[in-house]
Amino acid sequence: MTWIHPWTPHLFSFRTTRPKGFRFTAGQFARLGVEKSDGSVAWRAYSMVSGPYDEFLEFYSIVVPNGEFTSELSRLKVGDTLLIDKQNHGFLTLGRFTGGSDLWLLSTGTGIAPFLSILADPTAWESFEHIVLVHSVRHANELAYRDTVEKFAEHELFGEFAHKLIYLPVVTREPIAGHLSKRLTDLIPSGELERQVGLNLDLDRSRIMLCGNPEMVNDTRKALKAKGFQTSRQSSPGQIAVENYW
Ligand code: NAP
């Protein structure tokens, strides 16, 4: 562990050294291990926040009250050891899609993590005309990484593409002027999300990734299927890719 950044009492990010030979594609996750007081190791899946070219690994975590893994994790300090399974996992990657010109990245809570990794890699910026990043949280102080996203215009590599990014924070449990406040599962069927973004969800143009609360992922996928979108599979390319994640 090389760096720890608390966002709220329940949310924090951390960095580790990157083991030699640990390779991944943006959007994938790793299995992290922490040693418990009885000497056994607890493992949990975490998407990388950092990009495939970063020399460190960064992760974003919630502290689950009395959670076996996150309680141990949140006790670690800079300099402490974290285990990592060298195998990378997951299919929430741009390789799932063919075609499309608008990339929609729809997240709740810590589910924004893989999308930050995707935005830390040149592929998405070069491949799409528009990138829509929606982050739905309960309270405004949980809009982690807002600064990072809003400062892409100053980014030395991606600054020239920053005009492509439309960032839409959604805060559902407190009224914040100028912010959407309904769940994604309401914003999509009503058309409010498309109006707010200024783009239509379109079978030819849109490629959509969902990550976060498993119920949100399921229900949003249903709402998109009702509009004709299909989950992308190797045998039959579609427009949707998902990861359940907390
Ligand atoms: P969350 O409960 O999934 O909420 C994050 C966002 O997703 C909120 O905007 C929420 O809207 C929305 N959402 C939740 N279920 C949805 C659904 N079925 N369809 C569409 N949108 C949905 O995630 P979280 O706040 O990161 O909490 C994750 C877990 O940690 C939960 O078990 C929670 O009890 C626990 N926890 C959370 C906090 C906290 O302060 N956030 C603190 C301690 C523990 P709504 O506001 O309408 O639900």
Q: pLDDT 10s per residue in the chain (246 long)?
A: 999 999 999 999 999 999 999 999 999 999 999 998 899 999 999 999 999 999 999 999 999 988 889 988 999 999 999 999 988 899 999 999 999 999 999 999 999 999 999 999 999 999 999 999 999 999 999 999 999 999 999 999 999 999 999 999 999 999 999 999 999 999 999 999 999 999 999 999 999 999 999 999 999 999 999 999 999 988 899 999 998 765
Q: How far apart are CA 232 and CA 155, in angstroms?
A: 31
CB of residue 7 inside a 6 A radius of ligand 1: no
Q: How far apart are CA 104 and CA 62, in angstroms?
A: 24
Q: How far apart are CA 170 and CA 184, in angstroms?
A: 8
Please name the helix (run of DSSP H) or strand (run of DSSP E) that holds residue 104, with its range, or none: strand 102-108
Q: How far, in Å, is the centroid of ligand 1 from the Cα of 238?
A: 28
Whose alpha carbon is nearest atom 17 of ligand 1?
216
Q: How far, in Å, is the centroid of ligand 1 from the Cα of 136?
A: 9
Q: Which two tokens stand for residue 13?
A: 């990010």
Residue 11 φ then ψ, to 5°: -130, 135
Pair 208, 97: CB distance under 8 Å: no
CB of residue 155 inside a 6 A radius of ligand 1: no
